Amino acid sequence: MSNGALQSMNSKHWTFLSNHAHVLVCLVRDPEARLRKIADDVGITERAVQRIIGELEEAGVVTRHRFGRRNRYELDLDCSLRHPLESHKTLASVINIIAK
């Protein structure tokens, strides 16, 4: 892809992955990450990160463990992706490509 095409894509402010995927990548890289750090890295608000993590917990993808005032997040990397087009793949198959 040409440099101009990449710049054009960047100017439209869309990404190939959802904010949910970006939050998961952050949690894989740092399971003890603070919401503020995740929000800064993803480019969304802390409240949005909190909502996304709540949805991921509800779906069984993320488990939150409290240690004093800190959280540690555990991911179920063996869970299947939710969309029918991707349901034959696991979260690990996607994360392994992106988080390296």
The pLDDT-based confidence of 32 (bands split at 50, 70, 90) is: very high
What pTM was computed for the model? Answer: 0.83
Per residue in 3-25, pLDDT (tens digit) is 555 555 555 678 899 999 999 99
Per residue in 81-99, pLDDT (tens digit) is 999 999 999 999 999 998 7
Q: Which helix or strand (DSSP H or E) is residue 65 part of? A: strand 62-67
What is the rounded average pLDDT of the residues 70-81? 96
∠ CA 87-91-97 to the nearest 5 degrees? 115
Q: Which domains does the chain have, with CATH numbers?
A: 12-98 (1.10.10.10)
**CA–CA gap between residue 23 and residue 27 (Å, rounded):** 6
